Amino acid sequence: MNVDLMRKVDYYAGVPLCFLATFVVKLSNLFKSTAKPKRVLLVELSEMGSAIIVDPAMQKLKNTGGCELFFVIFEKNKPSLKLLNSVEDSNIFTIRETGIVPLAIDTLRFFWWTRSRGIDSVIDLELFSRYSALLTGLSGARNRVGFHAFHNEGLYRGAMLTHKVSYNPHQHIAKSFIALVNALLSDKPEVPYSKTLVSNDEIKLRQVTVSDDAKASILARIKEDYAGFDAGKQQIVLINPNASELLPQRRWMKDRYADLMRRILAYSPTAVVVITGAPAERAEAQVLKDNVNSERCVNFAGRVKFTELPALYYVSQLMVTNDSGPGHFSSVTPLKTYVIFGPETPALYGSLGNSTPIYAGLACSPCVSASNHRKTACTDNVCLQTITVEHVFNTIQPILKAG
């Protein structure tokens, strides 16, 4: 299903279903009591980057709470959980979002799966999605934690939760995820949860270890695409010009990426620009490469598996990317990453890694939030048009090797 159809289903089907499910949940609550969390399921369906951002919260569940972790996610986003391997593969449930029928079948399977696994606690990481609320409320778990609107208007999700956390739109989402964990681990009831301080130290990400063989494999593939590549003398500059269909307004213009790449190559004769992307984006990347018209510009879209991304990041000097998954995937490595923000704000969704946001900060930005299901009415993303090639180049120039 495309993103707009999913939003419509979530609204037109989700609201009445949440209303009806509320009666079922309230009735079941009469026969259940809260219990110490041991087997905790996290619900994060649609954002691959969030599967990385939530890792500090998952580590707290394991290290402080002594919990076994489970996860439910859309099938296409499952690879993002493999970068840090915080959840065992057998504990991950995937849902197909390719159509209404597969979605419905997998939803029914999910309700059986949670009960067969003895899930006692569920944390809904989604920001006011009715579908995730239904998964949480009807999961059979005793403890159900998530964001609740309280006196805010709109975004009705029924009464699915036992631990209602007040969503704070003024702190990084990683801290909000920690707040959900704190609510679950709290030894006393609160209204609202969670009256705790989350420090910056609590949202530090673990770093992955990459073998020399894995790095050598990446370098060999770059040399296959550019015969003149010399890993000992040249620096790899990654460019990720794409963003998910969830919010296409996040894409900086392709002609500006082409201009930026030409400037990088002209400034640094040792630079090799590598365009990254999924296999489906290879043709689009080729158009960009042809526009740059340099043998030192490599179309690398589809040339690495998702699990090989850390190796690519380890052998590279820097990356420039739209506000999308790669900005978060690189955060588990030391790679210096520059993320171009527009309709979203780095204050909430900035990378937790070695990252620098590039953000115009217009009065209208951010125009997406939890209250509008991250759907903007904007069709003229001036917030990105305002960011010039010169500004981006000047920002990255200090770590480029000059000619």
What contacts 28, CB < 8 A, 6 or more positions away?
none
Q: Is the pLDDT higher at 11 or at 328? A: 328
For position 9, what pLDDT does the model report?
84
For position 373, what pLDDT does the model report?
76
Q: Do 123 and 39 form a contact (C-beta atoms < 8 A)?
A: no
Residues of the chain with pLDDT > 70: what percent? 98
> Taking 80 as the threshold, does the pLDDT of residue 128 lie above it?
yes
User: Mean pLDDT over residues 253-260, rounded?
Assistant: 96
Over its C-alpha atoms, the chain yields an Rg (Å, rounded) of: 22
**What value does the mean pLDDT of the chain take?**
92
**Per-residue pLDDT reduced to its tens digit, 89-107:** 999 999 999 889 999 999 9
> Taking 90 as the threshold, does the pLDDT of residue 236 lie above it?
yes
Rounded alpha-carbon distances, angstroms, from residue 35 to 9, 29, 59, 265: 34, 13, 20, 60
**Domains of the chain, residue spans:** 3-203, 212-399
Q: Class of 3-203 per CATH? A: alpha beta
For position 370, what pLDDT does the model report?
75
Tokens of 44: 């994060």
Phi, psi angle pair for 86, to nearest 5°: -80, -20
Q: Which fold has domain 212-399?
A: Rossmann fold (3.40.50)
User: Mean pLDDT over residues 198-208, rounded?
Assistant: 95
Our CA angle for 54, 58, 61, nearest 5°, is 145
User: Mean pLDDT over residues 198-206, rounded?
Assistant: 95
* Sign (positive or negative) of CA dihedral 48, 50, 53, 55: negative
For position 152, what pLDDT does the model report?
81
